Amino acid sequence: MHLHILGICGTFMGGLAALAREAGHKVTGCDANVYPPMSDQLRALDIELIEGFGADQLALKPDVFVIGNVVTRGNPLMEAILDAGAAYTSGPQWLADHVLLGRHVLAVAGTHGKTTTTSMLAWILEAAGLEPGFLVGGVPQNFGVSARLGRGKCFVIEADEYDTALFDKRSKFVHYRPRTAILNNLEHDHADIFPDIGAIETQFHHLVRTVPSTGRLVVNARDEALQRVLQRGCWSEVQRFGTKREEPGGLCARGEPHAFDVLRGSLKLGRVEWALLGEHNQMNALAAIGAAEHVGVAPEAAAASLARFENVRRRLELRGEAGGVKVYDDFAHHPTAIRTTVAGLRRKVGLERILAVFEPRSNTMKLGTMKAQLPWALEEADLAFGLQGDYGWSVSDALAPLAAQAQTAETVDALVAAIARAAKPSDHVLVMSNGGFGGIHAKLLAALQSK
C-alpha cells in the first residue's frame, strides 16, 4: 500500500509514517513546516518529504491519502483530493485498522505528561521482555525512535484528546479501543476546539466507554475533573494512583521524586531511583507501574526498570553550555506545564538563577485563553523572557505582574540578545516551546559563547 500523509511532520503523523514504513508500506508525505526531531527521523527512514500542500501531489496516486488534523478546507491538496473522489482517511483511523487491531492497547491520556508516561510504560514493558509496539509524541531516548511495531502483543500509545481530522471531530483516542487506559490528569486546554473543561470531560468519558469490563483504568486520584468523568459511568476495574497512604488499594509514593518507595496502601511494592526530577514525574511513574501491572509486570520489576529510563528528548534536555551558562530545551507550553518544569529545574539547581524563556505557540496560548496564568507559571524563575508574536494580545501586559522580572521581544534574535545580556556564569536558561522556536537554542549558545 502507498500512503501519502498530509501533515507528516507532526509528532503523531510522523510516528504513524514510521510504523507504516516498518510494516512494509510505501510512504510519502508533505507538510508546511519541517523541523527536528521528526524531520530527522523521517529522512533516516528514507521517507520522501514534500514542502507544502500543492494540488500537483495528486499525481502521486497513492492508495490512500492520510489526512492530519492540521489540514483544513481550502488546503489546495485537500480540495484536489475531494474533487477527484480519491480515497482518504484520518491517521487515527488508519492506525486503528492496520496496526492496533488484535493488540492489547495501553493508552496514556491526560493534559500533561502523556509523552513521558507513554515512554516510561513502553520502557517498563521492554525491560520485562514483552517487546511492545509503541507510538509516542516525542523521541524516547531509550529507543531512539518515536514509534515501532514491536513483536509482542502489547501496543503502548500516547492518547491525545485533540480532534482527529477536518471530517472527524472526535478526539483521537476514541479510535484506539484500549484494554488498559491511563487517565493522568485533566485541565482545560485546546481552547481552539474545546470551549470549556466540561467539553473535554465528555471526550474523556467517551474514552472510558471504550474500555472493556475486563480492562483497567489507571486514574489520578488527586484530579477532580477525572473523578467527575468516572461519575458519569465506569464499567472497568479502576486502579487509582497518587492516593493517601491510608487509602487501601491505591498506589502512592514515599520519599523524594528522585528516590521513592512505591506503595499500595501501606504495603511496599518496589522502589524507584532515577535521574528524573519533580513530583509530576513521580506521579507519571506510579501511573506507568499501575498500567504495566495489568499486563503482568510486577510493580517491583517495573519500579526497578525505571532506574534505566532515560526520558524523552525535549524534556529538560540540556542542549549545551557556553560561558558557564547551561541552556535547556523543554516542550512545556501550557501554563501548568511551564510551572511544573520550572519547579523541577528549581529542585535541581537550588538557589542558582533560572532564566525562563517561552513562546506562546500552542493554539490555546495564541488565543490568549490562559495568558492570566503566565505570571503564576513563571514566578519561580529569576527572570522570564517571552516572544511577542502576532497573537492579538500583549505578552508584556500579561507579564506585567512580574514587573522587572520579565522582558519581551518581537523577534527571536532580539530575545536572544536580551537573554545573553542578562545571563551570568552558573545561570540556567530554560527554553520552553512546542515548536522549533526559530532555532533559539543554537543562537543562544553562540551568543553566550561570543559574550
Pair (286, 166) in one structural domain: yes
Q: Is residue 135 part of a domain?
A: yes
Pair (334, 438) in one structural domain: yes
pLDDT band at 314 (very low <50, low <70, confident <90, very high): confident
Pair (151, 255) in one structural domain: yes
Pair (207, 238) in one structural domain: yes
pLDDT at 35: 66
pLDDT band at 410 (very low <50, low <70, confident <90, very high): very high
Domain of residue 151: give its range. Answer: 102-308
pLDDT band at 197 (very low <50, low <70, confident <90, very high): confident
Given 256, 281, 308, which residue is the final one in a domain? 308
CATH of the domain at 25: 3.40.50.720
Pair (108, 240) in one structural domain: yes
Pair (118, 42) in one structural domain: no
pLDDT at 390: 84
Report the domain count for the chain: 3
Pair (115, 205) in one structural domain: yes
CATH of the domain at 172: 3.40.1190.10
Q: At residue 191, does pLDDT exceed 70? A: no
C-alpha cell at 287: 501511573
Q: Is residue 96 part of a domain?
A: no
Burial per residue of 301-326, b for 16 or more beta-carbon CB atoms within 10 angstroms, e otherwise: bbbbbbeebebbbbbbbebbebeebb
Span 161-184, mean pLDDT?
Answer: 95
Pair (363, 423) in one structural domain: yes
Span 410-415, mean pLDDT?
Answer: 94
Span 312-328, mean pLDDT?
Answer: 87
Given 68, 91, 114, which residue is the final one in a domain? 91
Q: Is residue 97 part of a domain?
A: no
Question: Cα–Cα–Cα angle for 144, 67, 33, nearest 5°?
Answer: 60
Distance CA 406, CA 385 (A): 6
Given 264, 282, 308, which residue is the final one in a domain? 308
User: Helices 440-450 and 412-422 sit at what angle, rounded to 10 degrees?
Assistant: 40
Q: Is residue 57 part of a domain?
A: yes
Pair (209, 331) in one structural domain: no
Q: Please, where are the H alpha helices in 97-251?
A: 114-127, 197-210, 224-231
Q: 132 φ, ψ to 5°?
A: -75, 155
